[in-house]
Chain A
């Protein structure tokens, strides 16, 4: 892979891929964004298998619709927007599927509590217990608030970037983040006490 390409910024790489169809430029972008996007999507969805699919789908969309990228916008904002949209769609699909699959087995339309396999001692390690609890709490936070909290507090994006990704103004972003944090604080009360 060309060393010069590695030195280019995200925006320069996508422009190179747009103009000259340089596959290496795209590969560098994939290397740069595969982990941050996986982390973002996993924290939002809570399911690793579907998270990997969503990130791959995001990269395929970047490849396929490279011409749709506007050079005025930041590449990170564009790629996070795509991933966020796909993650939201996947989350809603999963929620629908779980709702139907649980209700279908209920004889008197009652729902059953799924066994929590993640709490099995052979599955979780001691270091991962806290992460698991936080992740579960995160999944209980309202969808719109969760996305904003993950982008801000886990991915470390600025309010401006988040507002561009979510397509809302900064005030709304701040409000969503604070509401999400408040919900999380309420859910994680026990952890802090311990």
Chain B
């Protein structure tokens, strides 16, 4: 340190020999005037929440949040996993078959028509079930029936027989008097129709997947009574005219 001071002795001497600069004569009066004129409002420390909810900070932050939300949803919709169509296994179409001879084709068509006639009765039974039961998948229903064959098989068979007997009883009456037919909301083309198209068979009305509401005998009676009343009223109107 001493070496350094010796080295720069001249400089230090020159600096120490500088005249002392003094404050102006009116320094203190000016200072007092400034102190008195200046008001010193105490800066109260605002809390964290008060600082955050200042409009100048809230608006940009809300804007940022809104942008973040929009970006999140945009990114989310884009990030849906797309299955590679080349890696998806093709659906096995059981309704399409290859035949070598025309005779074989006829045989297969007969088999299909038999299968269709068996399947026709299934929807009527299913209509009786509640909506919650309908929601369960077809596989579950089938497997459930097969598995529970030992336990519930008897009851199911009884129900089925009952349904079939009701259907048989009501069929004539329903056809003669009133048949309420509504379209099912299923937008897809049923497999049977598809099969018909493939095999070249004509599609009958029964084969279409219509929901047929069949009325019980008591309901039918009520409907007939109402119908008769309406007819009698119409006749009375006509006579009056």
Contact = CB atoms under 8 A, between A and B. Distances in A.
Given A64-B40, A154-B16, A154-B18, A30 B31 contact: yes
Contact of B15 (A48, A64, A154): A154
- The bracket for how many chain A residues form the interface is 35 or more
Contacts of A87: none
A178 B11 CA distance: 11
Given A134-B15, A182-B8, A59 B31 contact: yes
Interface in A88-144: 128, 130-131, 134-135, 138
Nearest to A33: B23
B71 interface: no
Given A60-B34, A178-B8, A185-B11, A38 B19 contact: no
B222 interface: no
A35 B8 contact: no
Interface string B1-26: 10010011011101111111111100
21 contacts: A27-B28, A31-B28, A35-B21, A37-B23, A38-B22, A43-B21, A48-B21, A52-B27, A55-B23, A60-B38, A130-B14, A131-B19, A134-B18, A138-B15, A150-B15, A153-B16, A156-B16, A174-B4, A184-B14, A184-B15, A185-B8
B159 interface: no
Given A154-B16, A188-B11, A34 B27 contact: yes
B23 A181 contact: no
B118 interface: no
Nearest to B33: A56
A153 B21 contact: no
Contacts of A156: 16
Contacts of A182: 8
Contacts of B106: none
A128 B18 CA distance: 9
Nearest to A52: B24
Interface string A60-80: 100110000000000000000
A192 B14 CA distance: 10
B35 interface: yes
A17 interface: no
Contacts of A192: 10
B28 A34 contact: yes
B143 to A, nearest CB: 81
Nearest to B28: A30
Contacts of A135: 18
Contacts of B8: 178, 181-182, 184-185
Contacts of B35: 60, 63
Nearest to A58: B31
